[in-house]
Amino acid sequence: MPDHRRYSKNVFNTCVRSALLVACCSLAPFSQAAFDTAGQVNDLVKRFTEAQQKMDVPTLQALTAENYVEVSPLGEVDTRERMLTFYVKKDEKQALPALTVEDSTARLLGDTAVVIAKVSYASVVEGQNRTFSLRTTFVAEKRNGVWKLVSAQYTPIRPPKKPE
């Protein structure tokens, strides 16, 4: 191969490598920002579910937008006000169920985020352990620099079938 072709090929390879390096370096801040934002939204979901578990109405109110709406596990559409009244403590003696959030995945769409998570509840009813899980979709919106939940939908997860 003549020297000028080898030189041209080396220059081309060097330019391509340099362009890829610059592109990767310039995308790094965006991916870090997306990671940080996903963390903020996942934290919002965690604080919201903790407030549900504690029946903490003021925190639930602070974490939700005024136009918040949810679809309950029974398929009912509840406004924010109806959701908040559900969490008013009715019986101080009643033990609150333990609640865990797992498999949380956030997708960012500008100032909107969608989080899909598994929310599990465990309690003792009449001396027996009861557990159930819901696949939950949370939608959050960033308004004036603050993330708030605008929607949630709860879908029951069927328990595994018992072996016959």
CATH number of the domain residue 54 falls in: 3.10.450.50
Which string of b and e fits 32-43 if b means at least 16 CB within 10 Å?
eeeeebbeebbe
For residue 159, name the pLDDT band (cuts at 50, 70, 90): confident
Is residue 30 domain-resident? no
Its domain, for residue 51, covers 36-156
How many domains does the structure of the chain reveal? 1
Predicted pLDDT at 164: 74
d(CA 48, CA 149): 9
Three-state DSSP class for residue 141: strand
Helix (H) or strand (E) holding 118: strand 112-125
Q: Is residue 163 part of a domain?
A: no
In a domain, 18, yes or no: no
- Whether residue 148 lies inside any domain: the answer is yes
Note if the pTM is more than 0.85: no
Does 147 fall in a domain?
yes
- How far is the C-alpha of 33 from the C-alpha of 35, rounded, in Å? 5
Query: What is the predicted pLDDT for the residue at 123?
Result: 81
Tell me: pLDDT of 92 over 80.
Answer: no
